[in-house]
Structure 1
Amino acid sequence: MVKLYLHDIWTTVVDMKWRYKLSLFVSTFLTTWFFFGLIFYLIAMTNNDLNTEQALNHTPCVINVATLTGAYLFSLESQTTIGYGFRHISEECPHAIVTLVLQLVLTGLAEIFVTGAFLAKLARPKKRAETVKFSQLALISKYKGQVCVMVRVANMRKSPLVQCQLSGKLLFPNVTEEGEKIQLHQESVNFQFDSSEQCPFLVLPLIFYHVLDENSPLASLTAENLKVRNFELVVTLNGTMESTASTCQSRTSYVPQEFRWGYEFKPLLFGTHKGKYVADFHYFDEIQLSNDFSLLQDPINEKLLLEHEYHKD
């Protein structure tokens, strides 16, 4: 498992939590400063620069570096391009020059990698996806004469999401024709907005529909067996942020206890005297009985139908 993470080190670093990423950022600089400072200290030691009783014609490799602390400070100054005035390399030691060049090249690449990982994490639209709101319940009612599963989705930011598409996966246990038991069998559940599978932009709250026809994996769903079925409907919204053209993805899921048969969402868009539309999110999760009573003609919803007719009278 560790090899797999190290094989794709870029994604591993980008997916790191911020506290680990900050630790990596700081440790990258501290480690490279100390590592190359230690190399310069060893070069000075090999060249006998640390001897206080040096010959008059002796030229140190790194001027004014006589301790490990001085070598560390020289490495720091070289890598951060602070500049030289007190410590600098002489022309007598080619291996010190080569070490300095290697330090600048390698640490430059390391800084690009770590800084790029920071920018990539900041630019990820993960937080943007958290501003997409799904309805708490999935409703089953009629839309344009067809029985549909309905889910309401809203964009909580003023900046719109474009090219939005809602898709679903139905997860349920299944037994194949060969007798193999599959705990999480998956089937696609296609949602659509009006007559297309994609809405141009998501500004106002919208309702997406999945038709329960013969091609639907939920075709056998009825008001009677809804509560005893064992499945989970995972719904995913894919959209593109208009401001950055980056894609974001937000998801939720519904179990049978979160379905309501014969209900529809209450309207939440209201017109103002200025000709504008206002969305009242107090009604976002509010539901009401469907006007099509044919869905309520079963023993489970008989009580609800009687209550609805009573309040109507």
Structure 2
Amino acid sequence: MAEQISDNIFQTPVAAEAETRDLGFGSVVAGQSRERLLNQDGSFNVRRTGLNFLTSLNLYHTLLSMSWKVFLSILLLLYFLSNVVFGLLYALLGAESLVDTSSTPTSSLILRGFFFSVQTFATIGYGTIHPVGIITNLLVTIESYYSMVVTALITGIIFARFARPIARIHFSRVAVIAPYRDINGFMFRLVNGRSNQLIEVGAKVMFTRFVEENGSIIRRFDLLELERKNIAFFPLAWTIVHPINEKSPLYDLTPEDLKKSDAEFLILLTATDETFAQVVHTRSSYKPEEIRFGNKFVSIYNPAEEGETISINIKKLSAIEKT
């Protein structure tokens, strides 16, 4: 075997070499980290400390990248708290500052101020509750300006969230080492999780592991040769294959070899979103425990009669069977 995998790999000091391709993780992470470099959801398994909170805070990016559920919950909380604060301020000014001319006036001054704030914030203006006095009207002016700015900002962020293309690619939960053209191949499948069309899709697969070279333990990165690096259209599913021939760094490796060397397969996918005409990216990875030797993927295609449209069953994306 071209590479000698040591049983005491995690106890031996790691020597960082200049020629090691670390993909930007840095020699310390590439040479010493025993954690997964890239999580399956595409997030990096590293963190930065020492930055001032305000320096590192990027509210706009946070609001864009959070889930819709969290985003809408924050908006609802902001709307409620804003009206509570202004409602309390109106209540502090006294009952004579807010006159309720309805047939059944609100007895609670706090509730009266809250509902008046809601009407002012949303520019409803029923007219049954109206401000009296200079100070109260100044507070109404401040809330009107505040609501105008907040509404404009929220509208812009919502538009940006809708206008920002995000790839939702579903990767198979496992990868397989299966027969491929009289040899074996490392394979995994993926499918577009949205109804939009992706074109000019490209894939890169990097194989990283610890190896012993010249008496030192280093992490090596190898870009794997793929059967097909790019596809023009991505209407159904794509099985990405790395042929394991004599030139492959996976040649003659066993499941035990992958575990001992702390191997990881890093995947980077790029594509053009046809709707937005913008490039989107997604990432994932596989560890040895997520790789199945002696298995192959089951057919993802649904049976079709002559003249029927070809379709796939995404529920079978990760389904495997013995070879």
TM-score, with structure 2 as normaliser: 0.58
Which residue in 2 is equivalent to 1:33? 83
> For residues 205 and 99 of structure 1, do their structure 2 counterparts lie closer, same or farther at Cα, with a shift above 3 Å needed?
same
**Deviation at 1:31?**
1.6
Which residue in 1 is equivalent to 2:250? 221
The amino acid that maps onto 2:124 is: I
The amino acid that maps onto 1:255 is: P
9-18 or 274-283: which moved more? 274-283
| Structure 2: 5+ residue stretches without partners | 1-48, 102-106
1:203 to 230, 235, 246: 235
| Structure 1: 5+ residue stretches without partners | 51-60, 290-313
1-side partners of 2:114 and 2:310: how far apart?
65
**Deviation at 1:64?**
4.7
- Which structure's CA Rg is the greater one? 1
Instruction: Determine what percentage of the aligned residue pairs are the same residue.
Output: 16
- Contact 1:236–1:249 (CA<8 Å) still a contact in 2? yes
Matches within 5 A, 1:41-80: 41-42=91-92, 44-45=93-94, 50=96, 63-64=99-100, 67-80=109-122
16-25 or 95-104: which moved more? 16-25
The amino acid that maps onto 1:80 is: A
- Contact 1:189–1:210 (CA<8 Å) still a contact in 2? no
Matches within 5 A, 1:1-313: 3=53, 7-16=57-66, 20-42=70-92, 44-45=93-94, 50=96, 63-64=99-100, 67-89=109-131, 93=134, 95-114=135-154, 129=168, 132-134=170-172, 136-139=174-177, 149-155=186-192, 159-173=196-210, 185=219, 187=221, 189-190=223-224, 192=226, 194=228, 197-210=229-242, 219-223=248-252, 225=254, 227-229=256-258, 230=261, 231-243=263-275, 247=280, 249=282, 251-255=284-288, 258-260=291-293, 272-274=305-307, 277=310, 285=319
Residues 217-245 of structure 1 show CA distances to partners (whole Å, capped at 9, x for unaligned) of: xx343335453233121334344444555
- Contact 2:190–2:317 (CA<8 Å) still a contact in 1? no
Partner secondary structure for residue 227 of structure 1: helix
The amino acid that maps onto 2:282 is: Q
**Deviation at 1:199?**
0.9
More helix by proportion, 1 or 2? 1
Q: How many residues align?
A: 261
2-side partners of 1:222 and 1:9: how far apart?
48
1-side partners of 2:77 and 2:63: how far apart?
14
241-250 or 200-209: which moved more? 241-250
RMSD: 4.7
Partner secondary structure for residue 75 of structure 2: helix
**Deviation at 1:284?**
7.5
24-33 or 3-12: which moved more? 3-12
- Contact 2:208–2:222 (CA<8 Å) still a contact in 1? no
1-side partners of 2:65 and 2:187: how far apart?
34
1-side partners of 2:272 and 2:252: how far apart?
37
**Deviation at 1:198?**
2.0
Residues 236-271 of structure 1 show CA distances to partners (whole Å, capped at 9, x for unaligned) of: 43444445557363635142772547x876776688
Partner secondary structure for residue 75 of structure 1: helix
Residues 167-199 of structure 1 show CA distances to partners (whole Å, capped at 9, x for unaligned) of: 2233423578895x66xx4735356454xx321
> For residues 141 and 103 of structure 1, do their structure 2 counterparts lie closer, same or farther at Cα, with a shift above 3 Å needed?
same
Partner secondary structure for residue 190 of structure 2: strand
Residues 134-186 of structure 1 show CA distances to partners (whole Å, capped at 9, x for unaligned) of: 3733336566x99753434344666543222222233423578895x66xx47
**Deviation at 1:79?**
0.9
> For residues 187 and 100 of structure 1, do their structure 2 counterparts lie closer, same or farther at Cα, with a shift above 3 Å needed?
farther
